[in-house]
């Protein structure tokens, strides 16, 4: 064997594996392709088959499925010729991964079964456990519950008997999902609780939080809100340790929803405000949070804050031209005005002036006019006039014709004076 060529092959393979781990798939493919050229020069079947499998693996990641399939088939042919059982098993598993990507799940199931059938007893048992787990996921997708359960159980037993608690717990989560999809929610809860216990023992905080989240969703689905609330509270507490603002925001949002079902308005408002505080984008999901928070304040008869957050939501819906949601906000503002009038005997539309002015700065010209029209139709001439003045100012700043706005300002000013 040429030692120089062997050294060059190793260098290409090490570099390719590093790129694969860093998800630099194009660079990894380039390294493995160069490694295959060296492997062919070395003319060692085991080395050629091994290189082909790695090249095929990265091509699966790149979506080059036909090329990947050809590489795996060639690796399988070579391993059959030299009777390399481990290589055959890995090639069959690779072909199964291609079939999964192509949506050919029945074929993938047969290929994983082939991989398991030739897997040698002298090879690492945990790798065999991974093959069973992959097979279980294929059957789960196919809703072949009996075969999926059998495959997961075999994978879990391999993890348990070989001292791999993390894998054992992950299989409990998969079994819990399997039972949940079958409507066997008691069994699902048992699996998830057992997984939580193991994740606590091995101090895997991220996996524990994810599993508790799943358990909270299960309790929520069963309408057991107190248990759902307790689980989700632990999720929120645990997620404080992660540098993931989006995840923390989502966890708080779900906890707020649970609190609403428990009719605990204070907790619902608190966690929804936290969700908004940590939400990283100015998008429709943020607007929906504002809308929900406004609704909670309306239920609590805190009309000033309700109006404030409805207006915040409206700004974003206007920016995204979401006509359906814009209509919902206008209807909510109308309901708010009615509720306030019933409670106080007269409408009191005043919100903190600085807050309202700051909100109006964020509206488009069109949005300000729509809001002014809404207030005018509700005979809230003070707020209508304020919006028209702001629209007039915006129009002048952007050199837009404002004659029609000046007419509206004069008209609403007269109406306001008459009302007084």
264: its two tokens:
């605990």
Which phi and psi (to 5°) does residue 379 adopt? Answer: 60, 25
- Residue 279 counted as domain residue: no
130: its two tokens:
């991974």
Give CA–CA dist 99/155, Å, rounded. Answer: 21
- Residue 230 counted as domain residue: no
Collect all residues with Cβ–Cβ distance below 8 Å to 415 and sequence separation of at least 6.
376, 381
Does 373 or 194 have the greater pLDDT score?
194
Same domain membership, residue 8 and residue 108: yes
| pLDDT above 50 (res 73) | yes
Q: What is the pLDDT of residues 139-162, one digit of tens each?
A: 999 999 999 999 999 999 999 999
**Angle between helices 165-181 and 185-201 in degrees, nearest 10:** 160
Q: What is the pLDDT of residue 361?
A: 54
Same domain membership, residue 80 and residue 3: yes
Give how far the C-alpha of residue 315 lies from the chain's centroid of Cα atoms, to the nearest Å.
Answer: 25
The region that residue 43 occupies, defined by phi over 0 for left and psi between -120 and 50 for alpha, beta otherwise, is left
Which helix (H) or strand (E) is 313 found in, with range?
A: helix 303-319
Same domain membership, residue 155 and residue 117: no
- Residue 300 counted as domain residue: no
Cβ atoms of residues 401 and 395 within 8 Å = yes
Does 169 or 420 have the greater pLDDT score?
169
417: its two tokens:
């004076």
Same domain membership, residue 84 and residue 4: yes
Q: What is the pLDDT of residues 269-323, one digit of tens each?
A: 999 999 999 998 889 999 999 999 999 998 888 888 998 899 889 888 888 888 8
Q: What is the pLDDT of residue 355?
A: 45
- Residue 13 counted as domain residue: yes
Q: What is the pLDDT of residue 138?
A: 97
Same domain membership, residue 138 and residue 116: no
Q: How many domains does the chain have?
A: 3
Q: What percent of the chain has pLDDT over 70?
A: 90
Which phi and psi (to 5°) does residue 164 adopt? Answer: -120, 80
Q: What is the pLDDT of residue 250?
A: 92
Give CA–CA dist 392/400, Å, rounded. Answer: 9
Global confidence as pTM? 0.77
| pLDDT above 80 (res 412) | no
- Residue 297 counted as domain residue: no
Q: Of 164, 186, 203, which marks where a domain is finished?
A: 203
Question: What is the mean predicted confidence (pLDDT) over 24-29?
Answer: 94
- Residue 350 counted as domain residue: no
- Quickly count: other Cβ atoms within 10 Å of residue 352's Cβ: 11
Give CA–CA dist 36/30, Å, rounded. Answer: 10
How many residues in the chain? Answer: 420
Question: What is the mean predicted confidence (pLDDT) over 76-104?
Answer: 96
Q: What is the pLDDT of residue 418?
A: 67
Question: Residue written as tokens 């019933």?
Answer: 342
Q: To the nearest whole number, what is the mean pLDDT of the chain?
A: 87
CATH number, domain with residue 148 = 1.25.40.10
Burial degree of 130 (CB within 10 A; 0-12, 13-18, 19+): middle
Does 106 or 412 have the greater pLDDT score?
106
Q: Of 170, 203, 236, which marks where a domain is finished?
A: 203
Concatenate the DSSP letters of all residues of 377-403 into one string: HTT-HHHHHHHHHHHHHHHHHTT---H
Give CA–CA dist 368/416, Å, rounded. Answer: 19
Q: What is the pLDDT of residue 371?
A: 72
- Quickly count: other Cβ atoms within 10 Å of residue 9's Cβ: 23
Q: What is the pLDDT of residue 379?
A: 72
Question: What is the mean predicted confidence (pLDDT) over 26-50?
Answer: 93
Cβ atoms of residues 159 and 167 within 8 Å = yes
Domain of 90? 1-123
Q: What is the pLDDT of residues 232-255, one digit of tens each?
A: 999 999 988 887 888 899 999 999
Q: What is the pLDDT of residues 340-397, one digit of tens each?
A: 777 766 544 444 444 445 455 556 667 677 777 777 776 777 777 777 777 777 777 7
- Residue 260 counted as domain residue: no
Q: What is the pLDDT of residues 113-137, one digit of tens each?
A: 999 999 999 999 999 999 999 999 9
Name the CA dihedral angle for 229, 233, 234, 237, rounded to a multiple of 10 degrees.
170
Same domain membership, residue 114 and residue 12: yes
Handedness of CA 271, 274, 276, 280 (dihedral sign): negative
Give CA–CA dist 28/154, Å, rounded. Answer: 34
The region that residue 104 occupies, defined by phi over 0 for left and psi between -120 and 50 for alpha, beta otherwise, is beta
132: its two tokens:
């069973």
| pLDDT above 90 (res 336) | no
Same domain membership, residue 34 and residue 77: yes
- Angle of CA points 143, 117, 95, to nearest 5°: 65
Same domain membership, residue 106 and residue 37: yes
- Residue 61 counted as domain residue: yes
| pLDDT above 70 (res 2) | yes
Same domain membership, residue 140 and residue 63: no
Same domain membership, residue 14 and residue 113: yes
Same domain membership, residue 35 and residue 119: yes
Q: Of 163, 179, 203, which marks where a domain is finished?
A: 203
Collect all residues with Cβ–Cβ distance below 8 Å to 80 and sequence separation of at least 6.
88
Q: What is the pLDDT of residues 386-402, one digit of tens each?
A: 777 777 777 777 777 76
Burial degree of 407 (CB within 10 A; 0-12, 13-18, 19+): exposed
Q: Is 367 helix (H, G, I), strand (E, B) or coil?
A: helix
**Angle between helices 365-377 and 323-344 in degrees, nearest 10:** 40
Q: What is the pLDDT of residue 122?
A: 93
Same domain membership, residue 11 and residue 108: yes
């Amino acid at each position: 064997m040429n030692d120089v060529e062997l050294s060059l092959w190793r260098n290409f393979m090490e570099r390719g594996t590093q790129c694969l781990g860093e998800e630099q798939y194009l660079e990894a493919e380039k390294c493995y392709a160069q490694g295959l050229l060296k492997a062919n020069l070395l003319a060692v079947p085991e080395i050629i088959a091994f290189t082909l499998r790695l090249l095929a693996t990265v091509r699966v990641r790149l979506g080059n499925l036909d090329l990947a399939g050809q590489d795996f088939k060639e690796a399988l042919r070579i391993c059959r010729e030299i009777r390399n059982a481990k290589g055959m098993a890995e090639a069959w598993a690779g072909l199964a991964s291609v079939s999964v990507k192509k949506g050919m799940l029945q074929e993938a199931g047969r290929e994983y079964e082939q991989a398991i059938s030739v897997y040698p007893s002298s090879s690492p048992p945990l790798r065999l456990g991974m093959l069973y787990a992959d097979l279980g996921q294929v059957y789960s997708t196919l809703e072949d519950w009996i075969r999926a359960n059998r495959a997961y159980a075999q994978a879990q037993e391999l993890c348990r008997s070989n001292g791999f608690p993390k894998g054992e717990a992950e299989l409990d989560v998969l079994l819990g999902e399997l039972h949940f999809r079958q409507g066997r929610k008691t069994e699902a809860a048992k699996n998830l609780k057992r997984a939580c216990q193991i994740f606590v023992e091995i101090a895997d905080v991220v996996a524990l939080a994810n599993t508790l989240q799943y358990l909270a969703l299960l309790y929520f689905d069963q309408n057991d809100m107190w248990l759902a609330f307790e689980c989700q509270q632990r999720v929120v507490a645990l997620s404080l340790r992660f540098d993931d603002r989006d995840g923390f925001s989502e966890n708080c949002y779900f906890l707020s929803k649970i609190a609403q079902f428990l009719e605990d308005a204070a907790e619902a408002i608190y966690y929804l405000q936290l969700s908004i505080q940590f939400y990283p984008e100015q998008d429709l999901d943020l607007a929906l949070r504002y809308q929900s928070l406004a609704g909670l304040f309306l239920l609590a008869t805190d009309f000033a804050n309700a109006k404030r957050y409805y207006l915040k939501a409206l700004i974003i819906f206007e920016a995204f031209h979401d006509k359906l949601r814009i209509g919902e906000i206008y209807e909510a503002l109308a309901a708010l005005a009615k509720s306030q009038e019933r409670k106080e005997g007269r409408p009191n539309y005043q919100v903190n002036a600085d807050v309202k002015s700051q909100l109006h700065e964020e509206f488009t010209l069109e949005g300000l006019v729509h809001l002014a029209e809404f207030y005018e139709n509700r005979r809230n001439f003070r707020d209508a006039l304020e919006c028209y003045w702001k629209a007039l100012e915006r129009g002048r700043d952007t050199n837009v014709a404002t004659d029609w706005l000046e007419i509206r300002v004069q008209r609403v000013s007269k109406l306001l004076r008459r009302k007084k």
